[in-house]
Amino acid sequence: MRENIWKYISAVLILLLAVSSVAVVLLYMQNSELKSYTPSNVSPVVVETSLNTTCNETAYKLQIEELQRQLDFLKAQLREENMPEGNTTIAVVPVFGLIDDYTALQVVSVLRDIAKNDSIGGVVLWIESPGGYVAPVREIYATVRKLDLIKPVVAYTGGIAASGGYYIAVGAEKIIADPLAEVGSIGVIYVHYDLQKNYEMNGIKVDVFKTGPYKDMGAEWRGLTEEEREMIANSIDTYFQAFLQAVSSGRSMPINETRKYATGQTWFAMNVTGSLVDETGDLDYAIKVLSEILNVPRPRVVIYKGEHSSDFGVFGSTALLLDPRYVNAYVKG
C-alpha cells in the first residue's frame, strides 16, 4: 500500500508550495497601496504601461484554481493508497481545554500514530477549547493539515472552538458544530502588566543586569517604551496574518472576506454556517459526515482518551491565540 506514497506526498507538497506562492502574489496585488491618488496641489502625471493589473489578477486566480484541482486529485490518490483493507475504523481524537506544550505533545503523538495505522481510515477531531499559546496551536494545526492529506479529518465542537481552538479546526476538511457552539475569535492578544508603580509603593527595588536594551522587554517591573510597543505590535500582526491565511485557505474564503470575521468575536455556529463552519450537528453527525467521505456505511468508532495539562498558566507577557474571556483566570505570578 505504501510503496508509492512518497511520490504522491512529494507531488502534493510541490503543489502546495505553488499554490502558496501564487496566493502570496495575488494578496500583494490586492493589498497594494499604489492607487491612482493624486494630491490636490500636484499636477497629475500619466504613466503608460503595458501591464494590465486586472488581467494579471484574473490570471493568478485561474492559476490558483487549476493548482487546487491538481492538489485535490493528488490528495484523492494519496487517500486511496491509505484506505484500510477490510473493516474501517474512525478515530475520535479530543483536543480539550487550554492549549499548551503538553497538549501539543499528546495530540501530535496520537495523530502521527494514526497516520501510520492502516486500520484507521479517518479522524474526527473533537475540539473543546478557547485556544492557548501560539506555538503549540500551530504545531497541532500543521499536523492536522498533514494528516488530512492522507486521511480525511473532520473537526467537531459541541461547546467552543475559539481562537487557537478554531485555528486547529480550519486544518480539517470539514467543520461540524453544535448550533449553539461558539466558534471564531479570530485574532491574537498580548497582555502586559506594568507593575512598576506597585513595586515602588511597596518599597521593592528591582536591579536588572542585561546584555541588551530589549532583554527585559515585557517584564512586569517596568513599562514598555514606544519602540518596544511597535516591536510587539509587529510581532502580533505577524501571528495574525498567519491566522488569517490559515482560515482563508482552510475555509476556501477570500482573504478580504476572512477579515470580516477577524474581529476577535465568537459566533454561534448556527449563525455562521457555510462560512466559519460547514454544517451544524452533534458528534454522531460529525462521524456520519466522515463515514460518507470514506464511503463506509458502518465504521468501527474508537474514542481516544483526552488528556490536558492541569497547570496551564500565563506566567508573563506573551502573545496568545486565546479568547480574551479566559486570559485573566490563567494569569499567574
Residues 67 and 154 in one domain: no
Catalytic residue among 75, 129, 163, 249: 163
Note whether residue 49 is domain-resident.
no
- For residue 112 the three cell numbers come to 502521527
* Residue 249, pLDDT score: 92
Q: Rounded to the nearest 5°, which phi and psi values hold at 23?
A: -65, -40
Catalytic residue among 210, 215, 260, 332: 215
* Residue 49, pLDDT score: 45
Residues 66 and 118 in one domain: no
Note whether residue 321 is domain-resident.
yes
Residues 113 and 185 in one domain: yes
Could you tell me which residues are beta bridge partners of residue 174? 154
Q: Contact at 8 Å (CB) between 321 and 243?
A: yes
pTM of the model: 0.77
For the chain, what is the domain count?
2
Residues 20 and 92 in one domain: no
Note whether residue 36 is domain-resident.
no
Q: How far apart are CA 227 and CA 250, in angstroms?
A: 35
Domain containing 23: what range? Answer: 1-30+54-81
Note whether residue 63 is domain-resident.
yes
Query: What CATH number has the domain bearing residue 265?
Result: 3.90.226.10
Note whether residue 47 is domain-resident.
no
- For residue 201 the three cell numbers come to 509603593
Q: How far apart are CA 262 and CA 259, in angstroms?
A: 5
For 201-208, the CB contacts below 8 A with 24+ separation are: none
Q: Where are the beta strands (DSSP E) in the chain?
A: 89-96, 120-128, 131-133, 153-157, 160-162, 174-177, 182-184, 189-190, 266-268, 279-280, 300-303, 319-322
Instruction: Check if 119 is active-site.
Output: no
Note whether residue 38 is domain-resident.
no
Q: How far apart are CA 43 and CA 26, in angstroms?
A: 31
Residues 72 and 132 in one domain: no
Instruction: Check if 291 is active-site.
Output: no
Q: Contact at 8 Å (CB) between 327 and 314?
A: yes
Residues 200 and 318 in one domain: yes
Note whether residue 278 is domain-resident.
yes
Burial of 306 (0-12, 13-18, 19+ CB in 10 A): middle
The count of C-alpha atoms lying within 13 angstroms of the C-alpha of 298, restricted to the half-sphere facing its C-beta, is: 0
User: What parts of the chain have a pLDDT lower than 70?
Assistant: 1-86, 306-317, 327-333
Note whether residue 8 is domain-resident.
yes
Could you tell me which residues are beta bridge partners of residue 316? none
* Residue 39, pLDDT score: 45
* Residue 147, pLDDT score: 94
* Residue 1, pLDDT score: 47
* Residue 50, pLDDT score: 47
